[in-house]
């Protein structure tokens, strides 16, 4: 059982951190990472050690900060804490019924969450600027705390905390059930307002980078105040925009987390969105629209060419970059039917695979979508007017123009403007991760090859850039590892084995370092054992409650790929090996270019 929780802030006459002598400060500096250095100081000065100006010291009134243990009073005293970022704790409630109805949510959607342990629910708003309003929640297990902090992330353009994935992995409800102190935020705006950034540059900053870091700092201080000691380790696990947040934390605030799980990151956000515009322009050319009814024919042709390349015909391509398939084989030779493509449709398809390029320099802007995931492209081929994620980015954040027209986007001048105005704030593409490496931060990244929302090829492309900057594959893999997932669509599901502890996925059959990516990360951080491979599970259907396993597959550390051994149960991961593709060099080579395609 964990230490009995209570909020303990400094009283007048105590010796807080800001008044510690040199010996105390030296002892603190030698403590391990994760914020464990302030326990001996006896009380908490909220904001004193953040390096943030204008943060007042918080002393409880003489009849204030209660040390009564295990009562609702301990939780409600969170409202008395002074926190950074001009933060107000609006409510702090001890939830003991096992059920929580999240009424009054910023997005107006109420959820009923069940099976919860007793926990202190802290709700607040941070206002680091005069136009900021960053709503957040921090959930602190009352008696079941495992001593760790695991932050959720927020997908897409956020607009509400990640309360639940409705029985799937990664929401606040599942994390608190597992014993973690956890937190999530709306990132500074509500989902019901699609134009939250128009005329609000500070709200844009809150979403792009400021909110996640600030809420992380606030959550850690609440943890220290509530339990009387800091977390032993701090972790982050999320996908999509949450993956962008994770990489941004590593690059800009490497002190925030000891380890991060980064799923399908939207980290080159400006260029990824340009890719969506590129696709919409290609598909809206005269006669170029590809009906959804033609996607099965494209999928069948691709699989016929490349499914067997990994040693097994199972409807999944194990290594799409090694697939050499010519889309022109689908060109109609006569009547236009759902089994072939007209020339304008073929041209559009080739552009989707190629991705955008600069019309002036010819330089590639971003990868296209990968071969093998076409069965999930209904959303791509249906977006003929640029109303998807690209509209939220360019119309709302970049040009701040409700009437922005995708068809006018210039991939030279407009791209440069977007990069300068918004990309410079929100892209997380820095390749020099030396400070994170020095601090001992560990990173596990994954991305599904069948991703139908974000272009999966950028994950290995970015990783190779990091490898080059950091001095080789071996050096990079000592703190940062990538796993590409055959047959997984965006973050979860798809024809492959896609459950391994990522956000939004079905719960893995076992919470161990082989089947659960969060457990693998923690073993790496806490025991120094890096994951060379993992096992992903595919259930008989996608329902949250399903526990019957259909098959398992290995997840291989990049650049290795899975291959069927030629014998053994094809539904068992043990019948596969992780092998080095001959076109990518030796996976054990320490050359700076090892791992390149």
The residues carrying an active-site annotation are 240, 451, 490
Residues 348, 396: Cα–Cα separation, whole Å = 27
Instruction: Give bridge partners of residue 446 from the DSSP assignment.
Output: 263, 483
The gap from C-alpha 563 to its chain's centroid, in whole angstroms, comes to: 28
The gap from C-alpha 586 to its chain's centroid, in whole angstroms, comes to: 29
Residue 581 phi/psi, 5° resolution? -60, 135
Residue 142, Cβ density class (10 Å: 0-12 exposed, 13-18 middle, ≥19 buried)? buried
Question: Residue 170 in contact with residue 152, Cβ under 8 Å?
Answer: yes
Residue 72 phi/psi, 5° resolution? -60, -25
Residues 355, 358: Cα–Cα separation, whole Å = 10
Residue 274's contacts (CB-CB under 8 Å, 6 or more residues apart) are 356, 365, 366, 390, 409, 411, 415, 418
Residue 449: closest CA among 300, 274, 323: 323
Question: Residue 240 in contact with residue 490, Cβ under 8 Å?
Answer: yes
Residue with tokens 């007042």: 56
Count Cβ atoms below 10 Å from residue 274 Cβ, excluding itself.
26
- DSSP-H helix ranges across 456-499: 458-470, 473-477
Residues 132, 356: Cα–Cα separation, whole Å = 35
Residues 180, 365: Cα–Cα separation, whole Å = 40
β 549-556/561-564 pair status: unpaired
Q: What share of the chain is helix, strand, coil (3-state, %, to 5)?
A: 35, 15, 50
Exposure of 497 in the CB half-sphere (CA atoms within 13 A): 24
For residue 12, CA distances in Å to 63, 73, 261, 542 come to 11, 21, 41, 56
Residue 200, Cβ density class (10 Å: 0-12 exposed, 13-18 middle, ≥19 buried)? buried
Count Cβ atoms below 10 Å from residue 375 Cβ, excluding itself.
19
Residues 370, 355: Cα–Cα separation, whole Å = 10
Q: Is 207 helix (H, G, I), strand (E, B) or coil?
A: helix
First to last CA, the chain: 50
**Could you write out the DSSP letters of every residue in 310-374?**
GS--SS--S-GGG----GGGGB-SSS--TTSB-HHHHHHHHHHHH--B-TTT--B-S--PPTT-G
């Amino acid at each position: 059982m964990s230490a009995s929780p209570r909020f303990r802030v400094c009283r007048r006459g105590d010796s807080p951190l800001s008044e510690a002598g040199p010996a105390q400060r030296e002892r603190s500096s030698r403590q391990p990472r994760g914020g464990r250095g302030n326990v001996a100081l006896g009380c908490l000065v909220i904001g004193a050690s953040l390096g943030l100006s204008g943060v007042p010291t918080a002393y409880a009134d003489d009849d204030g900060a209660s040390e009564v243990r295990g009562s609702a009073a301990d939780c409600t005293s969170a409202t008395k804490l002074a926190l950074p970022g001009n933060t107000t704790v609006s409510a702090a409630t001890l939830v003991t019924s096992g059920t929580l109805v999240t009424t009054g949510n910023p997005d107006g959607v109420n959820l009923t969450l069940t099976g919860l342990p007793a926990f202190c629910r802290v709700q607040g708003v941070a206002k680091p600027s005069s136009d900021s309003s960053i709503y957040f929640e921090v959930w602190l297990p009352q008696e079941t705390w495992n001593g760790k902090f695991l932050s959720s992330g927020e997908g897409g353009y956020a607009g509400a905390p990640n309360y639940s994935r409705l029985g799937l992995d990664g929401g606040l409800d599942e994390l608190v059930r597992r014993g973690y102190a956890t937190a999530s935020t709306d990132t500074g705006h509500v989902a019901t307002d699609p134009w939250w950034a128009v005329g609000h540059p500070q709200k844009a900053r809150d979403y792009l980078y400021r909110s996640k870091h600030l809420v992380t700092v606030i959550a850690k201080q609440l943890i220290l105040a509530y339990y009387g000691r800091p977390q032993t380790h701090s972790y982050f696990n999320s996908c999509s925009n949450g993956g962008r947040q994770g990489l941004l934390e590593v690059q800009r605030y490497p002190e925030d987390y000891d380890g991060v799980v980064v799923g399908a990151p939207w980290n080159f956000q400006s260029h990824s969105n340009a890719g969506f515009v590129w696709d919409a322009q290609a598909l809206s050319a005269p006669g170029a629209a590809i009906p959804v009814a033609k996607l099965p024919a494209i999928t069948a042709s691709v699989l016929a060419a490349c499914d067997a390349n990994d040693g097994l015909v199972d409807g999944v391509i194990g290594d799409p970059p090694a697939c050499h398939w010519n889309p022109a084989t689908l060109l109609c030779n006569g009547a236009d039917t759902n089994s072939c493509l007209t020339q304008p449709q073929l041209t559009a398809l080739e552009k989707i695979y190629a991705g955008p390029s600069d019309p002036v320099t010819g330089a590639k802007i971003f990868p296209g979508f990968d071969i093998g995931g076409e069965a999930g492209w209904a959303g791509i081929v249906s977006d003929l007017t640029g109303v998807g994620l690209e509209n939220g980015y360019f119309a709302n954040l970049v040009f701040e123009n409700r009437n922005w027209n995708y068809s006018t986007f210039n991939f030279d001048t407009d791209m440069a403007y977007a990069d300068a105005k918004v990309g410079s704030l929100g892209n997380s593409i820095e390749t020099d991760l030396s400070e994170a490496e020095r601090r001992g931060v560990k990173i596990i990244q994954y991305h599904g090859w069948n991703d139908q929302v974000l272009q999966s090829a950028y994950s290995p492309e970015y990783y190779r850039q990091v490898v080059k900057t950091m001095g080789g594959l071996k050096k990079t893999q000592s703190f940062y590892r990538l796993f590409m997932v055959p047959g997984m669509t965006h973050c979860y599901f798809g024809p492959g084995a896609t459950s391994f502890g990522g956000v939004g996925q079905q719960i893995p059959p076992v919470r161990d370092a082989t089947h659960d990516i969060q457990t693998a990360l923690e073993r790496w951080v806490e025991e120094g054992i890096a994951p060379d491979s993992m096992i992903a599970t595919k259930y008989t259907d996608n329902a949250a409650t399903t526990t019957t396993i259909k098959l398992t597959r290995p997840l291989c550390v990049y650049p290795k790929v899975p291959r069927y051994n030629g014998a053994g149960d094809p539904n068992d991961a043990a019948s596969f090996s992780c092998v080095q593709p001959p076109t990518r060099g030796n996976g054990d080579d320490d050359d700076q270019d090892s791992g390149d395609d």
